[in-house]
Structure 1
Amino acid sequence: MTNGYNMALVIGAGLSLLAALMHVGVIMVGPSWYRLFGAGEHFVRAAQAGRWFPAVVTAGIALVLAAWAAYALSAAGVIAPLPLLRPALIAITLVYLLRGLLGPVALAGTGRSRRFIFVSSTICLVYGLVHLFGLVQVWGSLA
């Protein structure tokens, strides 16, 4: 039995939403989670000092990830079509894939731990592959 939804994109939306919620959690918990999730000492110290920019940047990332989840749900057929659906889904998929593939090079020397770079790059690569799989499946039906 099928519900007509593209399950790869539904899963991709769930993954993006999970990442968005984790970013909200980082804001709520504060400096210890900034450090735990690899934000770098500059952000950790700024959060400890009560500065606003770590929370604003992190909230911005959460909003982008939530929008990406909405676009994946739209392409999956769960919600109404959003504007520029095909180019947006292509861009989202490319960002995840490029972050996954180039993250180890791009983040080297930024003060982030090797563990953070490896784990976050692997997560982004998986997210990108899930989106790519779904995108290929719905390609012909996207406007």
Structure 2
Amino acid sequence: MTDAPLAMGRKLLIAGGLLSSLAALLHIAIIFGGADWYRFFGAGEDMARMAEKGWLYPKLMTIGISAMLFIWAWIAFAGAGLVRKPPLLRTGLVIISSVYLLRGLILFPMLIFIPDDVSSFVVWSSLIVLVYGLCYTVGTWRAWPNLS
């Protein structure tokens, strides 16, 4: 049964990689969805207006975010043993876990200190990202012995 934590870590890292891939694909879809999609997914009115005017900035920013999310998925899949391991795999997984957790947990101080700024988008996106962070964090912790 000593392999059970490793198996759980592997499954959670695969889940994290799939979630990051899904988020990356969603960002690509937003580009094609246009200004209304930028608004719906919380990019802000400025980004939506720039998209309406055909500016390149929203597309480049969204492509950059999508590329980063695909890289994060690759790192999760590498931690699960599905693809080639990048250098500093453990470091990468810890950083990604931290970013996702911090992004998700920011909801709670916002609810306390600036509740008027907390939209429904902030709530549901924070909770979703918190799940991502938990997959990466617990997956990394459980798979740690195999990540070197």
TM-score by length of 2: 0.86
1:90 aligns with 2:94: yes
Q: Measure how far apart 1:140 and its partner are.
A: 1.6
SS of corresponding position for 2:69:
helix
Q: Measure how far apart 1:113 and its partner are.
A: 6.4
Equivalent position to 2:24, from 20, 28, 52: 20
Equivalent position to 2:128, from 120, 123, 126: 123
Q: Number of matched residues?
A: 140
Equivalent position of 2:142 in the other structure: 137
* Runs of 5+ unmatched residues, structure 2: none
In structure 2, distance between residues paired with 1:92 and 1:98: 10
Q: Measure how far apart 1:26 and its partner are.
A: 0.2
User: Structure 1 or 2: larger helix share?
Assistant: 2
In structure 2, distance between residues paired with 1:135 and 1:66: 18
Equivalent position to 2:34, from 27, 30, 41: 30
Question: CA 1:86 to 1:58, structure 2 compared with 1: closer, same or farther past 3 Å?
Answer: same
In structure 2, distance between residues paired with 1:82 and 1:127: 20
Q: Which runs of 4+ in 1 moved over 3 A?
A: 103-106
In structure 1, distance between residues paired with 2:44 and 2:17: 27
Deviations 1:61-108 (A, max 9, x none): 0000000000000000011211110000000000000000014657x9
In structure 2, distance between residues paired with 1:84 and 1:55: 30
* Runs of 5+ unmatched residues, structure 1: none
Residue 81 of structure 1 aligns with an amino acid whose one-letter code is: K
Question: CA 1:104 to 1:24, structure 2 compared with 1: closer, same or farther past 3 Å?
Answer: farther
Equivalent position to 2:77, from 67, 73, 76: 73
Equivalent position of 1:45 in the other structure: 49
